[in-house]
Amino acid sequence: MESYKYIIIGGGAGSIAAVNEFNKHNVKKEDVLLISEEAVLYNRIYLVDYIFGEVTQSQIVYPKELFLKINVALQTRIVTVQPQKRIVIDSSGKKYKYHKLLIATGAKPVMFVKPLMNNIFVLRTLDDAEKIKSRIYSVKHVTIVGCGAIGLELLDKLNSKCQDKEVVVIEKGSTVLSSSLEPEFGKSIFYNIKNFLSKNCKIEFNSTISNIKEINNKLFVTLTNRKKFFTEMIILVSGIKPVFLSHNGSISTLDTAETTFNNEIDKYCKTMFERIYACGDAVRFKKFYYPNYLNAVNTGTIAAKNMLEEKTELKEYTHTNVLEIFQTVYVLKKYEDNYTKQQLTPKKVLSKYSFYKKYQNLLYYNLPQIQKLFLQK
C-alpha cells in the first residue's frame, strides 16, 4: 500500500491553492500525493472561453512546473474513505494511506435528465467543454437551461460570436442570477444585458422543461409555460451540488454523498472527521454554501496551512462573483452575516481576479446596503 503524509483528492482551484502552499513550504515530494479524475489539470474558469476559441487548451492547463514537487495520480477516482484507518480507496480497489487528507472533490452539475440523452450536455469539466465545442458550431438552435453565471457567459458568447444561431435560455426564476441575487438586482443586470441581445436570443423566465422528445436527431422541448419548440442541443447549467463524505465516515462513497450536506468545515478548514480537511466547492462554512473561485482559493490555502501545523484561521468566506459579460464586468458581493467584516472595494476584489483584463463599466453591488458604483477605466 502506498503511504503519504498528505493526500489531496481533487484537481480544482482549491487543491491547486493547497499545492501552491505545499510548494512554498518545500514539503518533500514523497510526502504529497494529488489524486484527480481528470486527464489533465486545468483552470475551470476558462471553459466557456475555450469553447469559443478565445483560449487554447495549453493556455488553461496548469503548468507542469507546479507539480514537480509532488506526486500526481491522474484519471483516478476515489470512491471510499476510511477515516478510522486513514485510508482512501480508488475505483480499482487500490488503497492509499494518509496522515492528513484534503477533500477537494468539488461539485457536480444538477441534471434533470438522467442519463443524458443525445445532444444534451452539461458544462463542468474540460471533457464537457470538448463535447459542447464539437457540436455547437454545427447547429442552428441552442437551448441553455439556467441563467446563472455560466448560462450568462454562454449567452454572451453565442450572442456575439454566433449570430446566425437561435438561442433560448430557460430560467425557473423571475430574472437572471435568481439563485444568488435579490430580484431587484437581477432585474437591474438584465436591463443592461437586454440592450445587447440580438433578436435571435431570448430568455424564458419563470419556466422549466416539462418534457423532451428526440425526433430526427432534434429535441422537441415542452416548457411548463406551455411553449414548445425544436432545438438541436441543450446545455444544462442550472446549478451544482457538492461531492463530499457521507455522514457514515467509516466507509464513505463520495459519489453517493453528493446530495448530502455533511460537509461543514470549521475556521481551520477541518471537517468532522479526524485528520480530514476540506476546501472549495465541496464545503460549506457556518451553514453557508458559496461555491466560487475566491472561496476555493481561500479555503484551499487555509486548509494546507493547517495541515502543515501552521495554525491559520479562515478570515473570509463570502458570496462574491465577478462576471465579465456583455462588455461589462459585474462584481457582486453579498454579506449574509457579520462574520466577514472586511469591506472590499471594487478594485480590491478585481485584484484577486486578475484574469479579468479589460472592461468598460464596473457595476459593484454591496448587499444588503444597496450601493451601486460605476467606475470608468
Residue 345 phi/psi, 5-degree rounding, is -80, 160
119 plus 226 within the same structural domain: yes
138 plus 150 within the same structural domain: yes
301 plus 334 within the same structural domain: no
pLDDT at 336 > cutoff 80: no
pLDDT at 366 > cutoff 50: no
Q: Which of 201, 240, 202, 243 is nearest to 103 (CA)?
A: 243
Residue 230 phi/psi, 5-degree rounding, is -95, 140
Least confident span in 144-158, 203-217, 257-271: 257-271
Q: Which of 265, 286, 307 is the last residue of a domain?
A: 307
Q: Which of 184, 205, 236 is the last residue of a domain?
A: 236
- Domain presence at residue 13: yes
CATH number of the domain residue 216 falls in: 3.50.50.60
Give the distance between the most distant pair of CA atoms in the chain: 61
156 plus 104 within the same structural domain: no
Give the tens place of pLDDT for each residue, 27-60. 999 999 999 999 999 999 899 999 999 999 999 9
- Domain presence at residue 314: no
Give the tens place of pLDDT for each residue, 111-138. 777 667 889 999 999 999 999 999 999 9
Phi-psi label, residue 286: left if phi above 0, alpha if psi -120 to 50, beta otherwise: left
- Identify the three-state secondary structure at position 125: coil
pLDDT of residue 360: 36
- Domain presence at residue 99: yes
Which three cell numbers, joined as nine digits, stand for 5?
Answer: 503524509
Contact 204, 170 (CB under 8 A): yes
Number of Cβ within a 10 Å radius of residue 108 = 17
Give the tens place of pLDDT for each residue, 273-308. 899 999 999 888 887 888 888 889 999 999 999 999
251 plus 274 within the same structural domain: yes
Give the domain range for residue 338: 319-376
pTM, entire model:
0.86
Size of the chain in residues: 377
- Domain presence at residue 312: no
150 plus 209 within the same structural domain: yes
Q: Which of 232, 180, 173 is nearest to 203 (CA)?
A: 173
Q: Which of 123, 172, 173, 127 is nearest to 150 (CA)?
A: 123
Q: Measured between alpha carbons, how far is 34 from 71 in angstroms, rounded to an integer? A: 6
Q: Give the residue, 263 or 35, on which the prediction is more confident.
A: 35
